[in-house]
Homo-oligomer: A and B are copies of this chain.
Amino acid sequence: MRSAEFNREAVLRAAMNAFMEKGFNKTSMQDLKQATGLHPGSIYCAFENKKGLLLAALEQYNLDRNTELQAIFSNEKDAKSGLSAYLGNIVAECVSGDPTQSCLSQKAINEIAQTDEQAQAVLSQQCVMWQSVMREVFVQAGEEGDLSGARLPEQRAQSLIVGIYGLRTFSQAQKDPDVISAIAEQLLIDVCR
């Protein structure tokens, strides 16, 4: 036996960044070798192939984003404030122009979900989990009296996620921070109405 020398999380985060900067198809194994510090053979030994590395990176990305989400919400006094802080965070990422602050899941959905069944399955499941996390946030917001209308928490969660996907796409075509920020504020109003 022999254990791997590299730090798996660090390698996956490096791969994440590489994929976010160039997209999956434009990121070459040479790029990944440089980003991760791993030789081609090691990458194939540990992750099967390039797509395997992407799938592993997506898994790590989801874990990282989830802990980040928990941190943001636990710093706020209630669910509504949490939502506001969460959206504020996303707006900041959109406006930063930094490719490594974009959403790897969303990039993968747009680039490869359509043509790769395995990636489609992983991304679909991750999206469903994201929905269920956000649904609980809206359940709590309802209990705290911050939702006026009668929409189901599930539907609010779906509208929020659609809004976030849309915001990220829109912000690549229209970079004005004030515009992005205003759309996000309206989104918060609409999903809490």
- Given A162-B163, A166-B163, check contact A110 B110 (CB 8 Å): yes
Kindly list chain B residues whose C-beta atoms are within 8 Å of the C-beta of A174.
Answer: 124, 127-128, 131, 158
Q: Which of A112, A114, A167, A169 has the largest count of B CB atoms less than 10 A from its CB?
A: A169
- Decide if B179 touches A170 in the complex (CB within 8 Å): no
Judged by a CB distance under 8 angstroms, whether A26 is at the interface is: yes
Judged by a CB distance under 8 angstroms, whether A155 is at the interface is: yes
- Given A158-B179, A162-B183, check contact A173 B115 (CB 8 Å): no
Q: B-contacting residues of A (Cβ < 8 Å)?
A: 21-23, 25-26, 99, 102, 106-107, 109-115, 120, 123-124, 126-128, 131, 151, 155, 158-159, 161-167, 169-170, 172-175, 179, 182-183, 186-187, 190, 193
Q: Which of B110, B124, B166, B175 contacts A162 (CB under 8 A)?
A: B166
- Given A165-B166, A166-B163, check contact A172 B113 (CB 8 Å): yes
23 A–B contacts, CB within 8 A, in A order: A21-B115, A23-B111, A26-B115, A102-B114, A106-B169, A111-B111, A114-B172, A124-B173, A126-B173, A131-B174, A151-B186, A155-B182, A158-B174, A158-B182, A159-B186, A161-B170, A162-B167, A162-B169, A162-B187, A164-B166, A165-B169, A190-B190, A190-B193
